[in-house]
Amino acid sequence: MSRRIALLTVSAAAWCGFVAVTVWTMAFLAGVGLRRTVDGPVRIPTGWAVAVDLALLLLFAIQHSVMARRPAKAWLRRHVPAELERTTYVLATDVCLALLLALWQPWDQAVWHVDGVAAYGLWALSAAGWALAIAATYAVDHLELLGLRQAGWGGRPRPDAGAPEALEVGGLHAIVRHPLMTGMVLAFWATPRMSAPHLLFAVAATGYIAVGTSFEERDLRRTFGDAYVAYAARVPAFVPGLRVGRGRAAVAPSRRGQA
């Protein structure tokens, strides 16, 4: 097998894994089409279930955060081909998220449950959140975000790959700075059947998003300086029309950077 074919194959496998775990997560949180979901069935006592779920959430957060940092990227470049650096990150994310979904331990405790028109409205909001999150990956460069372009899909990688990106301020990013994160938070919380384990997932994921984007804000302020300050002053972080302070809220992911 030639090097090019190997790169294309591995990167395509990572992308397929991304698609699979994304669909799995949708069904997992919606509680449809699966025997095991965020809500049930209950398999172990509540105390152990909470401990296991927190450990799984922590594992995902550590992987996602550590591999996004510059020292980890530098180490990775010494051990895998440069074309597969992003693919390796995507594959690791696929594995950690798959473990979380497969090993998640629900317990029996309801927080809210609504029916009728309200339920349909919440399902619609959840679907809109997933649609926005997926669209946000194309608002930047879907192929590069998921490591496909670096490996040779969709043409040659940009000759300046690795150089600082121009600040993306158009399209979805002209409405909110974090369209991807806005979509995911909406998808996590908009449900007519909120159980305690689902609430734990939503709170932990939202907290991680808040912390992660605060680090991203620091990096983008350092990279883009006054251009970012001006952008943040006119575009809200997550909610259209909502501004907090003077543009000091979180920023959109580095447009072709970490997801």
Averaged in consecutive runs of 10 residues, what is the pLDDT profile of the chain (259 residues)? Answer: 88 96 97 95 96 97 89 90 94 96 96 96 97 93 92 71 65 91 96 97 95 86 88 90 51 39
| Confidence (pTM) | 0.86
- Of the candidates 68, 49, 50, 48, the residue with the CA atom closest to the CA atom of residue 60: 68
The pLDDT, as a whole number, for residue 89 is 95
Residue with tokens 């949180």: 29
213 contacts 237 by C-beta, under 8 angstroms: yes
- Residue written as token pair 């790959």: 161
pLDDT score recorded for residue 221: 87
Confidence at residue 165, expressed as pLDDT on a 0 to 100 scale: 61
- Please give the C-alpha separations between residue 28 and each of 35, 166, 250, in angstroms, as whole numbers: 9, 36, 28
How many residues are there in the chain? 259
Residues with Cβ within 8 Å of 191's Cβ and at least 6 positions away in sequence, in order, are 29, 30, 122, 123, 126, 198
